Amino acid sequence: MKLWSGRFSDDTAPGVDEFGASITFDSRLYREDIEGSIAHARMLGSQGIIELSDADEIIEGLLSILLDIEAGKIEFDVSTEDIHMSVESELTQRIGDAGKRLHTARSRNDQVALDFRLYLKRKTADIKRETVGLISAVLGAAERNTDVIMPAYTHLQRAQPTTFAHYMMAYANMLRRDVSRLNDCLLRMDEMPLGSGALTSTTYPIDRDMVAQELGFSRITENSLDGVSDRDFALEILSDLSILMMHLSRFSEEIILWCSWEFRFIELDDRYSTGSSIMPQKKNPDVAELVRGKTGRVYGDLISLLTVMKSLPLAYNKDMQEDKEPLFNAVDTVLASLPIFAQMIDTMRLRPENMRRAAGDGFINATDCADWLVKQGLPFRDAYTVVGKLVNYCISGGKTLETLTMGEYRQFSDIFTDEVFDAISLDACVAARNVPGGPAPEQVLAQMESIRSFITANS
């Protein structure tokens, strides 16, 4: 018999139970559901709403159910609809009438809102920890390769010289923002909704602050209608995870390019690569490609929940049962992606000679040549035009700025002297960008120290 069957004179139609049940996926909330019920039962006893002996019996029964679930001794059935009714039914079977008193002064509406927040608080902390671990791997790669010069790109065209460490710090900063967003999300998620009831709280003299304190929440929700119908915290974490996966996807794209034979900047460890069933020479960057592909799944999870919530009136609606599967999928995807991505970064090997060779082509020191002219007194736009003509001359003659003679330079401006050759060397180009955020060695060391401090503060 269903716990809500008193109002009804007929059973649900065939297939309705299966269609409406959420136990197949919300069973993963069993720990949160039991912890919330224990806190609720303890509060009911403390407030005299139920007998203390009943509260103690309920708590003991719930703890035994938790142990049996984790031991694999309990199988969930769709007839109980969801994790809340599954636990309550099992409790009543074990301890009798005392178990029927557990649901006093609460509803499944505020119960699921509590369970969901508890679950996401924990998973957000797990994701944060794994993201910090990835930042550590990125920092380690930078520390091992501080002096490796490579080209930086705009429009996927070689643009200006930089260092691999400077490049890695760009991704470290993206990931640092991801951790910051997760921290912000945790602050807004940290509200305890139990006590909102079905939608307008309860007539019982409950102590919501006691429950919040026991469950580790910093505060309670302030409005009961909002308490049961709010899923902003779920949307916010999905948004944060989408941005995080976007960063991993961009990083993946770079790795995929860098380990191709066209670039050959890096080589991935064999343990994080796969081969071809037909082409024996292949070494495929499957981990990076899968992360890039799984990013779309997380985007889809965000859109799914936004679409569910976009036109729901207050308060709870059954549509909101569709909030969990997108969140579970996104959380699982991100938690699977982060550690394996960190391991891939930690084990990849650089080919610094290829990076430097690529930086030597493509006239990526052209801006530095123009800047040298500016420092001699030529207006920047005039210097820009002079160097543009120089580059065009080099392309026509198959030369580079480094291989031109001074006579050729002076065909375009009599300002040029031999000092320009020092200014356009790759090492000089990098060292000259000695401003905060730039690729000069001392600036990159400062960036690395900032990231190192952030890791320490968030570990």
Active site residue 276: yes
Task: Give CA–CA dist 129/356, Å, rounded.
Answer: 35
Task: Give CA–CA dist 43/214, Å, rounded.
Answer: 9
Task: Give CA–CA dist 459/451, Å, rounded.
Answer: 12
The residue from 5, 218, 260, 276 that is catalytic is 276
Task: Give CA–CA dist 368/376, Å, rounded.
Answer: 13
Angle ∠(264,157,405) on CA atoms, nearest 5: 95
30-46 vs 208-215: helix crossing angle, rounded to 10: 140
Extract the runs of DSSP E, i.e. beta strands, from 251-399: 266-267, 349-350
Q: How many CB atoms lie within 10 A of CB 29?
A: 24
Extract the runs of DSSP E, i.e. beta strands, from 228-356: 266-267, 349-350
Q: What does the DSSP 8-state code read for residue 16?
A: H
The residue from 155, 277, 311, 396 that is catalytic is 155
Q: Which long-range contacts (CB under 8 A, 24 or more apart) does 371-375 make?
A: 371/423, 371/432, 372/419, 372/420, 372/423, 372/424, 373/413, 373/415, 373/416
- 401-415 as b/e, with b when 16 or more CB fall inside 10 Å? beebeeeebeebbeb
Rama region for 195: left / alpha / beta (φ>0; ψ in -120 to 50; rest): left
Task: Write phi, then psi, for 161 (nearest 5 degrees).
Answer: -80, 145
Q: Which helix or strand (DSSP H or E) is residue 163 part of?
A: strand 157-163
Q: How far is CA 314 from the centre of its chain?
A: 30
Active site residue 155: yes
Task: Write phi, then psi, for 179 (nearest 5 degrees).
Answer: -65, -40
Task: Give CA–CA dist 364/367, Å, rounded.
Answer: 7
The residues that are catalytic are 155, 276
